[in-house]
Each structure stands twice: as structure tokens, then as C-alpha cells.
């Protein structure tokens, strides 16, 4: 146990458990490759046991509960990294409090033409236009059936691009694998599937969610259903989201997905089409989070995602209204050692400000973002 009270299941000192020099060399090598190939190799390295993993990272201050999910810490892996649930076991030992895989669609689909993933190194950002490429729910469900049972694992639900019933696709994915999950996320906010964001409209969203919730209620156990929204919603659209989430007693909202905005980018790939994530998204996504927190008046748990690359930024998301936080793009530049470093730093920030736990800090700085 560290003096701060933060522990890992490896029993090691968390910052010292990682050889940052080796990790930096590995990241340099990956950054010499095409981004999508590097992504695949990182999954392979995890599956092969080549990456050092700290195990579960937790403390009395970091332990929290979101929508009935008991989390060792509030840091989650966002959907999009492990699209096909290939690395569930190693990711469950990477320090995250919860993991979201997918997005999964009923049928396999290749996604959009390559290249479709771009590093924006100068901006510490990423643009992708994958288009829900995945192996389909049958392959993913089979892997989820042998998932680690001591981890909190959820699935991002998607729809096939050529589907004639996209709302039905979300329910179909949930029906196939809901019994293996701890939570599921309805993803109507990806900018890379044509007209998918149209489902964020009030009437369409209500109908879609009612179908998903009915499917959830038919499962052998109740799991939380989250909704992932775009950061590009206008005031009316965000108000509609809050109204629908509250009226349907949704278990939570993930704010936000990637953005179509491109202000202030310096990188050569800044003009590529697709969704922008990483550092350029932090302020925009946090303002949406804070506004949604105000609109829902704390009645709907929120998960903050977008541009988190430090303990201070995770803490800002929590104080803006998030009960938990997800990250992904920052791992491209910092590696998996970022997870325990953020957990350790977040514990220290909570202690500095006199919070006994994460829940006490939620929303205490919301006004700074409105």
C-alpha cells in the first residue's frame, strides 16, 4: 500500500510499476507505422502479454458507484479501442475501473475505406472515420461469454450502415449478448455512419430507447443502459436529450462522442473528414457535460469523455458533473501507464480538496463551465 492509500492488485508502487523509458520507445516505434496498423499491433501486444499491467487500481477515495455499478475507480476505457472484445482479460488488468468495447453491429461490416485513422500529433488529437467496422455480434458475443468476471465490462451498441431498421439493430445486439454485460451504451452519436446522428432527435430517440429498454427488461438480469451523445448538439438538441433521458429514467448519459468541429488545429491532417477526439475536444465536451448536468439536475448519472489526458482534467470532468470518466485518444500519446498515473493523481486531488470520495466532488465546479 502506498502512503497515499492507492493500491494495485500487483502489490507494486503504481508509478514505479512501469518502465516509462521502454514504454516511450514502444510508442515511438508505433508512431512510425500507419495509425490503424499500430492500433492493431497494440491489441496484439496486450493479448500476447507484452505490455506491463498494474492490475486493479483503487483506494477508498477512488471507489465509487455509477448506476448501480461498483467501480474500483472512476476511470473507464472508452469504446472504439477494443472494437471486437479481443483483449478483455489484459484490459481488465490495465488499471481501469470499467471497460467499454465495441461498437458492435448485428452483422459484420468492413467500415469506411482506408486510410481512416489520423494522428494529429501537434494537437494531441486523433481523427477517425472508421464507420463501425467490426466482426459482428456473433463473434463479439462469443468472446464476451468468456470475459473476466471480476471486471466491469460494457458494450457499445451500433447499427449496420445498410440496415433498414437501425433502431431495431440496437435492440438486436443487446438481445444477443446482454446477459454477458454489466452495461450497454446506445451509440447514436458517431459522425461516421451516414444519418446516424438523426436518431438523436427527440421522437426518434425516444422510440429507439424504448425498444432498447424493453429488450433490457426481457433479459435475465437488469443492466444499466447509457446513451452516448455528440458534442455538436445545439441548445435545443441538448435540452431534448435531457428531457428524454429523464422521462425514460435512463441509467446514464456519456458526454461526449467525437466532434465535427475543426477550430484551431495545426496538424497536417486537421482537414480530414471524420470525428475529432483528443485534446482539442476537452473544452467543448466538458461544457456540454456541465450543461447537461444542469439540465438533468443530477437525476441522470453522467460519464465524461473527451480530451482527458491528466488527473487534473479527469478531476475537472468530475467537478463539471461526471460521476465517472472515460479516456482513449490520450493513450495514443501516453500509453497505458497513463491510467494508473491519472488514478494516483486523482486520489491526491480529492484528498487535497477534502473530498472523502469521488461522489462528493461530482458537480462542485459545474458553474465554472457554464
pLDDT of 18: 52
Identify whether the C-beta of residue 239 lies closer than 8 Å to the C-beta of residue 87.
Answer: no
pLDDT of 200: 78
Place of cell 447509457: 226
Domains along the chain with CATH numbers: 7-369 (3.20.20.70)
- For the chain, the distance separating the N- and C-terminal CA atoms, rounded to the nearest angstrom, is 39
- CA nearest to 134, candidates 83, 80, 73: 83
Identify whether the C-beta of residue 211 lies closer than 8 Å to the C-beta of residue 127.
Answer: no
Write the secondary structure of 229-240 as one string of H (helix), E (strand) and C (coil). Answer: ECCCCCHHHHHH
pLDDT of 8: 78
Q: What's the pTM value of the predicted model, to 2 decimals?
A: 0.95
| pLDDT tens track for 130-144 | 999 999 999 999 999
- CA nearest to 84, candidates 213, 215, 177, 162: 177
pLDDT of 191: 78
Place of cell 471507489: 63
- CA nearest to 159, candidates 181, 185, 126, 183: 185
Catalytic hit among 190, 293, 323, 329: 190
Is residue 190 among the annotated active site residues?
yes
Task: Give how far Cα 210 sits from Cα of 225, 245, 278, Å.
Answer: 11, 11, 32
pLDDT of 271: 97
Rounded-to-integer distance, Cα 208 and Cα 186, Å: 9
Q: Average pLDDT for consecutive 10-residue bins of the chain (370 residues)?
A: 65 53 90 97 94 90 98 98 98 97 98 98 98 97 97 97 94 98 92 75 90 97 96 94 96 97 96 98 98 96 98 98 98 96 97 98 98
Amino acid at each position: 500500500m502506498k502512503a497515499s492509500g492507492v493500491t494495485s492488485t500487483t502489490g507494486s508502487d503504481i508509478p514505479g510499476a512501469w518502465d516509462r523509458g521502454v514504454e516511450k520507445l514502444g510508442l515511438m516505434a508505433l508512431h512510425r507505422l500507419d495509425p490503424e496498423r499500430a492500433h492493431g499491433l497494440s491489441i496484439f501486444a496486450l493479448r500476447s502479454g507484452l505490455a506491463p499491467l498494474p492490475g486493479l487500481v483503487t483506494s477508498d477515495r477512488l471507489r465509487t458507484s455509477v448506476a448501480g455499478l461498483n467501480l474500483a475507480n472512476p476511470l473507464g476505457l472508452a469504446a472504439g479501442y477494443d472494437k471486437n472484445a479481443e483483449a478483455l482479460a489484459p484490459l481488465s488488468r490495465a488499471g481501469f475501473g470499467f471497460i467499454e468495447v465495441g461498437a458492435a453491429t448485428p452483422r459484420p461490416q468492413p467500415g469506411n475505406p482506408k486510410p481512416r485513422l489520423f494522428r494529429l500529433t501537434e494537437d494531441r488529437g486523433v481523427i477517425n472515420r472508421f464507420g463501425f467496422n467490426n466482426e459482428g455480434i456473433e463473434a463479439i458475443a462469443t468472446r464476451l461469454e468468456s470475459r473476466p468476471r471480476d471486471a466491469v465490462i460494457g458494450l457499445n451498441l451500433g447499427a449496420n450502415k445498410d440496415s433498414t431498421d437501425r433502431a431495431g439493430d440496437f435492440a438486436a445486439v443487446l438481445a444477443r449478448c446482454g446477459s454477458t454485460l454489466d452495461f450497454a451504451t446506445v451509440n447514436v452519436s458517431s459522425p461516421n455512419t451516414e444519418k446516424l446522428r438523426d436518431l438523436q432527435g427527440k421522437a426518434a430517440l425516444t422510440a429507439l430507447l424504448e425498444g432498447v429498454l424493453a429488450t433490457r427488461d426481457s433479459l435475465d438480469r437488469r443492466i444499466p443502459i447509457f446513451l452516448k451523445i455528440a458534442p455538436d448538439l445545439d441548445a435545443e438538441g441538448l435540452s431534448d436529450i435531457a428531457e428524454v433521458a429523464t422521462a425514460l429514467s435512463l441509467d446514464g448519459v456519456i458526454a461526449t462522442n467525437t466532434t465535427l468541429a475543426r477550430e484551431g488545429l495545426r496538424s497536417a491532417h486537421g482537414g480530414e473528414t471524420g470525428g475529432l477526439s483528443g485534446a482539442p475536444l476537452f473544452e467543448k465536451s466538458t461544457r456540454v457535460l456541465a450543461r447537461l448536468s444542469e439540465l438533468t439536475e443530477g437525476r441522470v448519472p453522467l460519464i465524461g469523455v473527451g480530451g482527458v489526458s491528466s488527473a487534473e482534467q479527469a478531476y475537472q470532468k468530475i467537478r463539471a458533473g461526471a460521476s465517472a470518466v472515460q479516456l482513449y485518444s490520450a493513450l495514443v500519446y501516453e500509453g497505458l501507464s497513463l491510467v494508473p498515473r491519472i488514478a494516483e493523481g486523482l486520489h491526491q486531488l480529492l484528498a487535497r480538496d477534502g473530498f472523502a470520495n469521488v461522489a462528493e466532488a461530482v458537480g462542485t465546479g459545474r458553474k465554472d463551465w457554464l
